[in-house]
Amino acid sequence: MQTYDVVITGAGVVGCMVARALSRYDLSVLLIDKESDVGAGTSSANTAIVHAGYDPVPGTLKAALNVAGNRMWDTLAAELDIPFERRGDYVVAVDPEEVPRLELLLQQGRANGVTGMAMLSGEELRRREPLVNPKACAALWASTSGICDPFAAVLAAAENAVTNGVTLMLETAFEDLIMEGRRIVGVRTSRGSFRCRWVVNAAGVYADEVMHKAGVRPDFRITPRRGEYYVLDRAQLPLRSVLFPVPTAVSKGILVTATVHGNPIVGPNAQDVASKEDRSVTREGLEEVWRGAQRLVPGLDPRAVIGLFAGLRAAGNARCLTPGVDYGNDFVVEIAEGVQGLVNLAGIESPGLTAAPAIADRVVELLRDAGEPLREKRSWNPIRRARPRFRDLPPEEQAALVRRNPLYGRIVCRCETVTEGEIVAEIHAPIPARTYDALKRRTWLGTGRCQGGFDTPRVLAILARELGLSPLQVTKKGPGSEFLSRPTKDADWSNTGPEQAGHRAGGGWER
């Protein structure tokens, strides 16, 4: 049985940030996830906002880690080459009765240590964001809020961790803890058992189940809370910042936001669901989202919609431990009591993306306080560089790239200008993209107006060629999601380039 110092369950943004933080030290670390790619759960289906920190209740762990994490994002983005922009956000009061709530958020933000906030009139808000509802009477402005590419953050942290010695195993489902008395000595997975001294539970919506296998916090429960979204064409909504409604008790509300890639997104709603895998979109939910978004931007045009998606938040029921603070939905970031060797990171819903680097630093502190000898590696390198994105390069750099590698001159996805060179580079990256969705998250192919109608057969051909697979083996998101079922006539897929792929996929295979 292979032995590690630490096993991390869950390769979402929290698990990958923890893996990166621990890779700094002389520890053997294994990061596992049941999916075929990192960040395939909540981390790839959210609002992509780095929150300022005025929304969490003062005194909660959620508030402290939100603000601490926000302050880390400039350095984090620079070190890991993550798309990140501090655009600021507005909480918009459409009704005068909502203005006192804005003033409360301002007070909360100041209590949490948030800077750069101000109350604005409706007139000033409309001067800055002309598309906002003309009935808006006031807004809270938070300049430290930002937008990012959340999957790029996960991938960057994971790649940096792997290059610094962390072992990553995908398609590896956690099954149970191996215990000796009340001490954890290993984990059992779908791909075998591994000995370890510490388990870091970053299992997202499944984190409560890991806790219960250890016999700790039996009353803690995670409720999967689904949020549905629209994706809009980038040319249809010239929006600079993030527009929030006045929040409710369970959600920051249905918002309208710009993104670092240019496509505005609208959402989410908040619906508790029974299944921890239910990422479906519903007619009723989408209608709710559209109504909420039109309250902020009445001029939204449904013809601008090019995509839909849903994500799950891990809504927990942990009470805040600060005396005098009555709050029942706090983060859990702690070494488990009553069992040796378990660190629980649970109930990490919004602002979990923002807080993730601060949570990772807190895990390091917890292990150090528990007596774990943490010796820094001399060879640790915090820097990771992303592969070039052809469409973002100036013309002279595009030309130079094509001269070095002609594959960058072949456009596979026309809507998003994704080249074959980019696709091949991601297939052979430190964490290889081995499925269509993995490539989609990395390159944004298939996310434009045609939603993959043009590129899909070409991408299948490239994946088959580069991975040495039959086209029948190429999947959308891992085993069980194969695109093709059987050939309908003989076809030779060897040495398939984009031109041939488009021809042969037209009649040679059946979905």
Is the residue at 181 inside a domain? Answer: yes
**Mean pLDDT value across residues 321-344:** 96
Q: Which residues contact 311 (CB under 8 A, 6 or more apart)?
A: 41, 42, 44, 45, 46, 226, 227, 229, 268, 279
- Whether residues 461 and 494 share a domain: the answer is yes
Considering 261, 278, 310, which residue would you say is the last residue of a domain? 310
- Whether residues 133 and 170 share a domain: the answer is no
- Whether residues 26 and 10 share a domain: the answer is yes
Q: Which residues contact 285 (CB under 8 A, 6 or more apart)?
A: 226, 228, 269, 271, 310
In this prediction, what percent of the chain has a pLDDT beyond 90? Answer: 89
Question: Lowest-pLDDT range, 136-150, 186-200, 210-224, 238-252?
Answer: 238-252
Considering 259, 288, 310, which residue would you say is the last residue of a domain? 310
- Whether residues 405 and 437 share a domain: the answer is yes
- Whether residues 218 and 302 share a domain: the answer is no
pLDDT at 449: 85
Per-residue confidence band for 220, with pLDDT thresholds at 50, 70 and 90: very high
Rounded to two decimals, what is the model's pTM?
0.94
* Residue 183's CATH number: 3.50.50.60
Q: Across-strand partners of 167?
A: 30
Is the residue at 435 inside a domain? Answer: yes
Q: Beta strands 183-189 and 174-180: pairing type?
A: antiparallel
- Whether residues 401 and 449 share a domain: the answer is yes
Considering 310, 329, 349, which residue would you say is the last residue of a domain? 310
The answer to whether 259 and 87 have CB atoms below 8 angstroms apart is no
**Mean pLDDT value across residues 272-281:** 96
As a whole number of angstroms, the distance between CA 147 and CA 138 comes to: 23
Residue 377 has pLDDT above 80, yes or no: yes
Q: Quick: pLDDT tens for 385-420.
A: 999 999 999 999 999 999 999 999 999 999 999 999
- Whether residues 404 and 281 share a domain: the answer is no
**Mean pLDDT value across residues 296-316:** 95
* Residue 265's CATH number: 3.30.9.10
Is the residue at 394 inside a domain? Answer: yes
Per-residue confidence band for 511, with pLDDT thresholds at 50, 70 and 90: very low
Q: Which two tokens stand for residue 366?
A: 């917890």
Cβ neighbour number for residue 296 with a 10 Å cutoff: 23
Question: Lowest-pLDDT range, 89-103, 142-156, 223-237, 285-299?
Answer: 223-237
Average pLDDT of every residue of the chain: 94
- Whether residues 430 and 476 share a domain: the answer is yes
Per-residue confidence band for 500, with pLDDT thresholds at 50, 70 and 90: very low
Q: Over the range 204-228, which residues count as b (16 or more CB within 10 Å of their CB) and which as e?
A: bbbbbebbebbebbeebbbbbbbbb
191-200, 295-304, 478-487: range with highest mean pLDDT: 191-200
pLDDT at 494: 55
- Whether residues 106 and 167 share a domain: the answer is no
Cβ neighbour number for residue 368 with a 10 Å cutoff: 12
Closest CA to 311 of 245, 231, 248: 231
**Mean pLDDT value across residues 205-209:** 98
Per-residue confidence band for 497, with pLDDT thresholds at 50, 70 and 90: low
Question: Is 261 a catalytic site residue?
Answer: no
- Whether residues 494 and 455 share a domain: the answer is yes
Active-site position among 51, 212, 261, 503:
51
Q: Which two tokens stand for residue 87?
A: 């655009």
pLDDT at 491: 60
Q: What is the DSSP letter of 471?
A: G
The answer to whether 482 and 474 have CB atoms below 8 angstroms apart is yes
Q: Which domain holds residue 256?
A: 89-143+224-310
**Mean pLDDT value across residues 288-306:** 95
Alpha carbon separation from 374 to 166, 272, 367 (Å, rounded): 15, 40, 8
Count of domains for the chain: 3
**Mean pLDDT value across residues 258-267:** 93
- Whether residues 188 and 159 share a domain: the answer is yes
Q: Three-state DSSP class for 246?
A: coil
Which H helix or E strand runs over 91? strand 89-93
In this prediction, what percent of the chain has a pLDDT beyond 70? Answer: 95
Per-residue confidence band for 239, with pLDDT thresholds at 50, 70 and 90: confident
Segments in 250-404 forming alpha helices (H): 283-296, 352-369, 395-404
- Whether residues 93 and 39 share a domain: the answer is no
Residue 477 has pLDDT above 90, yes or no: yes
pLDDT at 489: 77
